[in-house]
C-alpha cells in the first residue's frame, strides 16, 4: 500500500519565524493583550464608580419617600372628611360621625317621624343640608348620634300636612283633613236638593267643576266639615236676567230674587208702570260659591183636549144649533225633563209624547138662514 504524501511538516519539525517579521508578530500580540487588559480595567472602574454613585443616592431617595409618606399621613389626619354636619337652613344641628348619609335620607326619616306623630303625611318647609367635613379636635364636642339629632330637628322645623282640598273651577277653596271628610262636604251640599220620592230618577250634580286633590297645606288652614259647607254655600250678589211669564207681577218677581221693589225699579225703570209678558228684566241673584243642579225626568199622563168643529146648514135658521157628534177628550203620556238649580226650576221641556187615546172632535151644526 502506497504511503500518503505529507502535505505539512510535523509539529516538532516546524520552525519559528525569524527576523523582523517574527518580532513584529510578537510585539503585536503583546500590545493587543495590554490594550485588552487596560479596557477591562477601565470598564471595571467605571462600573465600580457607578455602583458607588448609586449607593450614595439611595439615602437621599429614601428621605424623600419618608417625607412624602409623612405629608400624606398629615394630610389624611387634618383634611380627611370623617363626619357629616347637619343644618336646618343656616343653623347647625349637630355632627354625625359618618359620611355615608345624605340630606335626602335625613329629611325622609324626619318626615316619617313627624307623619307618625301627626297622623298624616307631612312636608318640611325648611331646607335640610348635610355637609361632609373633617372633624377636628374643637368640633368633636358637636358629634352626636341620630337618636339625639332627630328630636332637635323635629323642634327646629315647621311643616305642612297633606290634606284633601276641594277645588271649584280650578281654584283651591276648602282644605279638609281627609278624603272622607271632603266627600262628606259634597254630600251635605247636595242633601237639600235630593228628591223626596224614592222612585225619582233625578240626577244631582254641581254646576261648577268641583274636584278634590291632595295638597300640602299649613295645618291652620284645614277646615272642619261644617265650616267647609258654610264657606261653599256663602253667596255673593250677581246680576242676571229674568223673562216675565204669565201671572208675574213686579212684587212677585222681586220676592223671588230676594229684592225690594225699589231695587227692582232701580234696575228696570220701565217696571214701575207694568211688567209685560215676554219682557226681560235685570235682577240681582244671590249666587253661592257652589250651585247644585238636579235634572229630573217625569212621565205624566195628561188629557189631550177634544177639538170643536162647526158645520153650517143653509136650510136651517140662524138660531139653529145642534151637536151632531159628541166629542171626547183623548189621553197622552208625556216625558218631561225638569232642570232645577239650587231648588229653582230653570228649564222644563217635553222630550217625548205618546198619544194613548186619540181625542174625538165635537161637531156642531149651525143654521145660516
Distance CA 112, CA 106 (A): 10
Q: How confident is the model at residue 43 (pLDDT cuts 50, 70, 90)?
A: low
Judged against a pLDDT cut of 90, whether residue 217 lies above it is answered with yes
Average model confidence (pLDDT) for the chain?
Answer: 84
* pLDDT at 336 > cutoff 60: yes
> How much of the chain, in percent, has pLDDT values that exceed 90?
63
Architecture category of domain 294-367 in CATH: Single Sheet (2.20)
- The closest alpha carbon to 303, from 246, 355, 369, 240, belongs to 355
Q: Which CATH superfamily is domain 235-288 in?
A: LysM domain (3.10.350.10)
pLDDT band at 274 (very low <50, low <70, confident <90, very high): confident
pLDDT one-digit tens code per residue, 133-151: 999 888 899 999 999 999 9
> Would you list the domain boundaries of the chain?
83-157, 162-233, 235-288, 294-367
Mean per-residue pLDDT, 181-197: 94
Instruction: Give the per-residue pLDDT at 50.
Output: 52
Q: Where are the beta strands (DSSP E) in the chain?
A: 83-88, 91-96, 122-124, 128-133, 143-144, 159-168, 171-176, 203-206, 210-217, 235-243, 280-288, 292-304, 308-313, 321-325, 330-341, 344-357, 362-367
Q: What angle do CA 337, 339, 343 make, to 5 degrees?
A: 135
- Percent of the chain exceeding pLDDT 70 equals 79
Calculate the alpha carbon distances from 184 to 198, 224, 292, 341 in Å: 21, 10, 15, 21
User: What CA–CA distance (Å, rounded) separates 359 from 369?
Assistant: 32
How many angstroms separate the CA atoms of 267 and 252, rounded? 16
**What pLDDT score does 33 carry?**
53
Neighbours of 190 (CB within 10 A): 15
pLDDT-derived band of residue 41, with 50, 70 and 90 as boundaries?
low
Q: Is the pLDDT of residue 15 over 80?
A: no
Amino acid at each position: 500500500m502506497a504511503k500518503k504524501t505529507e502535505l505539512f511538516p510535523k509539529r516538532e519539525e516546524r520552525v519559528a519565524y525569524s527576523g523582523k517579521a517574527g518580532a513584529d508578530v510578537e510585539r503585536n500580540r503583546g500590545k493587543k493583550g495590554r490594550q485588552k487588559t487596560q479596557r477591562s480595567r477601565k470598564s471595571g472602574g467605571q462600573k465600580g464608580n457607578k455602583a458607588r454613585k448609586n449607593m450614595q443616592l439611595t439615602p437621599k431617595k429614601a428621605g424623600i419617600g419618608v417625607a412624602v409618606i409623612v405629608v400624606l399621613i398629615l394630610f389624611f389626619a387634618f383634611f380627611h372628611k370623617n363626619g357629616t354636619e347637619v343644618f336646618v337652613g343656616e343653623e347647625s344641628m349637630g355632627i354625625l360621625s359618618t359620611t355615608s348619609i345624605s340630606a335626602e335620607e335625613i329629611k325622609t326619616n324626619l318626615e316619617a317621624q313627624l307623619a307618625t306623630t301627626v297622623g298624616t303625611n307631612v312636608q318640611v318647609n325648611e331646607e335640610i343640608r348635610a355637609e361632609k367635613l373633617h372633624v377636628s379636635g374643637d368640633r368633636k364636642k358637636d358629634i352626636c348620634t341620630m337618636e339625639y339629632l332627630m328630636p332637635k330637628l323635629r323642634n327646629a322645623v315647621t311643616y305642612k300636612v297633606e290634606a284633601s282640598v276641594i277645588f271649584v273651577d280650578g281654584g283651591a277653596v276648602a282644605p279638609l283633613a281627609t278624603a272622607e271628610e271632603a266627600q262628606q262636604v259634597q254630600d251635605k251640599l247636595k242633601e237639600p236638593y235630593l228628591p223626596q220620592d224614592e222612585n225619582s230618577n233625578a240626577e244631582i250634580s254641581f254646576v261648577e267643576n268641583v274636584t278634590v286633590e291632595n295638597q300640602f297645606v299649613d295645618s291652620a288652614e284645614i277646615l272642619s266639615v261644617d265650616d267647609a259647607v258654610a264657606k261653599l254655600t256663602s253667596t255673593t250678589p250677581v246680576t242676571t236676567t229674568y223673562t216675565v211669564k204669565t201671572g208675574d207681577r213686579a212684587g212677585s218677581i222681586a220676592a223671588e230674587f230676594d229684592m225690594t221693589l225699589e231695587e227692582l225699579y232701580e234696575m228696570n225703570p220701565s217696571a214701575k208702570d207694568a211688567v209685560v209678558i215676554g219682557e226681560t228684566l235685570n235682577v240681582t241673584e244671590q249666587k253661592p260659591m257652589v250651585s247644585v243642579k238636579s235634572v229630573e225626568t217625569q212621565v205624566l199622563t195628561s188629557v189631550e183636549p177634544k177639538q170643536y168643529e162647526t158645520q153650517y146648514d143653509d136650510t136651517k135658521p140662524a138660531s139653529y144649533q145642534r151637536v151632531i157628534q159628541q166629542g171626547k177628550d183623548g189621553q197622552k203620556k208625556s216625558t218631561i225633563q225638569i232642570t232645577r238649580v239650587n231648588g229653582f226650576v230653570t228649564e222644563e221641556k217635553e222630550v217625548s209624547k205618546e198619544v194613548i187615546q186619540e181625542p174625538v172632535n165635537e161637531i156642531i151644526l149651525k143654521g145660516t138662514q
